[in-house]
Structures are given as structure tokens and as C-alpha cells.
Amino acid sequence: MQHPPHQSLQVAAIPSLRPRPAAMPKPRVPAREEDGPWHAEAVCRRDEAGLFFAPSKEPTAARLAREEAAKRVCARCPVMVACREHALLQPEPYGVWGGLTAAERRVVLARRRRRAAELRQAPGAGPIAAAG
């Protein structure tokens, strides 16, 4: 079973934290066949895993610099969109995923909810209007 690239790298980086096979958490959504390939192609799997999650009590300036560095890694990633959608569908509450911070993902999700509500409330919002 493959795990999102950030999760597997964090655990793999510290041998004492590697879970035993029975201790692996269950994924929040059933794995789909198309999920596997994007994980394997993620640029963050290589060596920048520490950029994507904040250490405890990280100063604001350090956090902003780390997040910008993580976003630069994401910008050159061939699977950035798939990673972002994964993080939005889960939803992932921490870290940089698909070039977005947790706060930025919350904004995207709020916009999507607001747009969906507007489409439901729009007069004459039938299947054709909702698809647009």
C-alpha cells in the first residue's frame, strides 16, 4: 500500500518512528488505482520532505520561508495538480500539498463550498447550469 509522499518520507527519515506493518493507519478514503502513480512521481519524495511540515513552535519568518521553498519544489513537480486535489479531497489539515499551505487549502475549499451553494440556489439551476 502506498502512502502520500510527505507521510512516507517523514516516517522513513527517522528509523525509530517507522511503524510496524500492523500499526499502519488506514487511509481516509479507499485507494483508487489512479492514486498510486502520482505518489511515485512526486518531486517531494526525493529529499525535501522537511520543507513540507512545520516543526513545533516555528517562528513566523522561518515558517514563511520554509513554505515558499516548499512551493518552489511543488512548482516543478509533474503531479502537483493531483497532489493538490488529494489534499483538498482528504482534506489534509497540515503541511504544503500541491503548492498550497493548509490555510490556502481552507480558502480554496471555502470557495468551492460557496460556489456549490450558489449553484444550488440559482434560479433555473438545473443539471446544465450546475455543470458550467
Q: Per the structure block, which three cell numbers stand in for 64?
A: 514563511
Q: For 14-131, where are the alpha helices, taking DSSP H only?
A: 35-41, 60-75, 80-89, 102-121, 127-131
Whether the predicted pLDDT of 78 surpasses 70:
yes
Whether the predicted pLDDT of 55 surpasses 90:
no
Task: Please name which of 37, 38, 17, 120 lies closest in space to residue 85, comparing C-alpha atoms.
Answer: 38
Average pLDDT over residues 30-43: 65
How would residue 110 be classed by pLDDT, with cut points 50, 70 and 90?
A: very high
User: One-letter amino acid identity for 100?
Assistant: L
What pLDDT, on the 0 to 100 scale, is given for residue 123? 72
How would residue 12 be classed by pLDDT, with cut points 50, 70 and 90?
A: very low
Q: Of the ranges 13-17, 55-59, 80-84, 86-90, which one carries the lowest mean pLDDT score?
A: 13-17
Question: Regarding predicted confidence, which is higher, 37 or 81?
Answer: 81
| Mean model confidence pLDDT for the chain | 75
What is the spatial distance between Cα 101 and Cα 128, in angstroms, rounded to a whole number? 33
What pLDDT, on the 0 to 100 scale, is given for residue 81? 95
How would residue 49 be classed by pLDDT, with cut points 50, 70 and 90?
A: confident
CA distances from 19 to 41, 53, 56, 86 (A): 23, 19, 22, 23
